[in-house]
Every structure is written in C-alpha cells, then in structure tokens.
Structure 1
C-alpha cells in the first residue's frame, strides 16, 4: 500500500518503521515543522496514495479531512483534542463518500484494557461497596491533560456503571460526590503512558493497569487500521475496528 504520513515526529517515525516492516511504501511525509518531505497537505501529494495515517496537532484538522475526502483516500486519524469537531468531520466524510477511522488510542493492548475496564465497571454495578477512579501518567512534553485515552476510559465506565453520572478532571477543593468519576493526571519524566483504574472498598482494592513501554503498539494498531479501512467507506471509530478484528 502506498501511504502518506501526516505528522512526522516521534510517532510518525514509529509508524513509518511499522509500515515498511509490513511491506508498505511511504510516498510522502507531511510535517508543518519541516521534518518531512512537505510542510502542507494537498490533493497533489495524495494523487498516488492508497492510505494516510495522521498523528498531528488538531489545528486545521477539518481542512485536512476535507483534502483526504476530496482525494478519496482512506485515512486513519490518531490526532487527539478535536472531539467537538467530530460531527462536522463525519458530515464531510458522508458528503464525499470517503473513509475515515479515528481513535484516541490505537494500541491493541489499550483497547483490550478498555474492554476489561468496561466489564469491571459492569460487574460492580450491583455492588455499591466499590468506588472507582482513574489515574494517568505521561511524560512532561505531553500537551493535553487528561489524555484522550483517560477520557475514553472514563466514558467506558459511565456507560457501564449507572451510579456514575459525570467526569471530574479538575482539582476538587471539596469532597467528590458519589455520582462523580474523578480522573487524575500526572506529567513528568519520560513516561510513555500509564493508565490505572482502581476499584476500591473498605475491605480491599483492585487495580487494572495498562503500561505503554513505547510507541510501537500505537503505531501497529494505526497501520493495521489503515489496512482494515482499505475498500471501505464511512466514518468509523477505533471501536468499530477492534470489534471487527477481535474474536467475539
């Protein structure tokens, strides 16, 4: 598959290594900071492309999605921080009949973790003695807080645990309410990413933890995602992709 990488930082380099290792060809690297073959995306760059993988900053993402759609090139987007723009993105994809797969975390291991957390939340739905909380740790250069992955975890919990109604991500100068789910964030050092869900009662505590050792897991998931997207049309989430590749 002839691919274009948009965002050629550390993640872009990891994606390139996985693409080449799986027999694909990288025909262009687009990076606004000047680290690739081009600074700006265009339909001309995508003329021979069969797939795109984007891990970049969210500024201008709707413009990028319109370019991908106009060129009829399927795209995997691992960029985070554009949740509120998703309905507009879906409409662009629908108008052009193109294909887009988005996700806050493409790591196959992290998506297995999401499933475990969902099941754990459902299991304690009828056991009121257990409270639940989320903590995440990342390197000091990470620009968003909490992480997109942490917010996905929180959403999974709210979907499966009736007594939690809202997510709190800020410092609380008060006692947390029983219907609030607290998501804590720590930034420092060179931590690739740790996400921890704790189920706690007066009698004991249960912890479910996902630790990313490096970026390879995210890159592999994104590359498998663009392979999966080939020949499809529609606006897909990483959940659609994971459900399709994992045994039921």
Structure 2
C-alpha cells in the first residue's frame, strides 16, 4: 500500500523502515508546513505535532484517505475528528500508544483496577518516563492508563504531580535522555504493594503497531482503536 507519513521526525523515520520492510511504499513525507496531495496515498500515518494533528486528520478524512494518528496533546479536538469521520464516512484510528505490548498492558491495567476497586486501603499512583524531546506531559499513554483506572474504580480524575484530592490519581512525569517510554502503575498499602510496568526498549514497537493498524484499516469505515486492531474487546 501507499503510505503518507504526516510528520517525519524520529517516529516517522522508524515507521518508514518498518513499512518498507513489509513491502509498502512511502509516497509522502510531510513536515509541519509542507503542502501535499494526500490523495496520492492509500492510508496516512500521523505522528506530527499537537498543533498540526487535527488539520492533518481532517485533510485525510475530507479526501477519503484512512488515517492513523499517534500524535498526543491535541485531544481537545478529538470529538470533532470523530464527528467529521462519521459525517464523511471515513476511517480513523487514534491511539495514545501503538505498541502491541502497551495495548495488552492497557487491558491488564483495566482488569487490575477492577479487582482492586473494593480494596480501600490501597493508594493508586502512576509514573511515566520519556526522552527529553517529548513535548507533552503526562504522556498520552499515562492518561489512557489513568482513564482505565477511573473507569473501573471510584477515582474521579488524574493530576500531574501531587494530588489535591483523594479522588484523584497522581501522575509523576520524568524526562530523561534516550528513554523511549516507561510506564508504571502502583497500588500501595501499609502491608504490601502491587506494581505493573511496561518498558519500551526502542521505538520499533510503536512503529510496528502503527503500520499494523494502517494495514488493518484499509477497506473499513468508522472510528476505531487498537482494541479493534488486536481483537481484544
């Protein structure tokens, strides 16, 4: 298939390697201000910047090009993207993290939260560590993990740093050079601690998942996520 890369930074280059190794062709490599003809592509993969993501996604949907987005920090417009996709009968996947392992980790997080929901003696906290060039904090992955806990417990929200309410989940965000991504969820009590953790060793896992998602969405119509791609609903 012919792929448009919307954003050609480190992730874009990693996606290019994976896509070419799987027999695909890169027909567009878009930096922030480039003017492109998106109709040259069968599918687009957006790993751009928060200020560009919604415009990239809208351009794809308006031109009937399926789009995979992994850009974080733009989700105040996510509902608008969904509405546009439904109006135009397009195809769209957003995921905070395309790593196949992370998406299994999301499901483990949901199941653990359900099991811990009645145990009031445990305090919940989270930490995410990324490279120093990551623009947003906390990471989209950390927010997804927090939302998984919120949906399955009495917690109401998340906060970056120390919490101002017991109903909220504290998330610590650290930026350290050359760390692809590490996410940890803790349940701590006076008697013991339970911890689940995902550590990415490179960006290759994120890139592979994005290409797998692009392969999966061809020929489909609707708004999807990685649960659909991995058939783990």
Q: TM-score band (shorter)? A: over 0.9
**Residue of structure 2 equivalent to 1:187:** 175
Contact map agreement 2:69 2:93 (CA 8 A) in 1: yes
Mapping of residues 46-85 of structure 1, within 5 Å:
46-85=38-77
Unaligned runs of 5+ in 1: 33-38
Instruction: Please name the residue that 1:125 is paired with.
Output: 117
Corresponding residue of 2:203: 215
Q: Call closer, same or farther: CA 1:13–1:60 in 2, change over 3 Å.
A: closer
Distance 1:10 1:65 in 2: 20
Q: Larger C-alpha radius of gyration, 1 or 2?
A: 1
Mapped contact 1:47–1:71 kept (Cα < 8 A):
yes
Number of paired residues?
Answer: 233
Structure 1 position 110, deviation (Å): 0.6
Alignment of 1:40 onto 2:34: yes
Distance of 2:203 and 2:35 partners within structure 1? 24
RMSD, matched Cα: 1.6
TM-score, normalisation: structure 1: 0.89
Once residues 171 and 39 of structure 2 are traced to their aligned partners in structure 1, the CA distance between those partners, rounded to angstroms, is 43
Q: Where has structure 1 moved over 6 Å in runs of 4 or more?
A: none
Equivalent residue, structure 1, for 2:190:
202
TM-superposed deviation, 1:41: 4.1
Unaligned runs of 5+ in 2: none
Cα displacement (A) at 1:130:
1.7
Q: 1:120 to 1:98 in 2, by over 3 A?
A: same
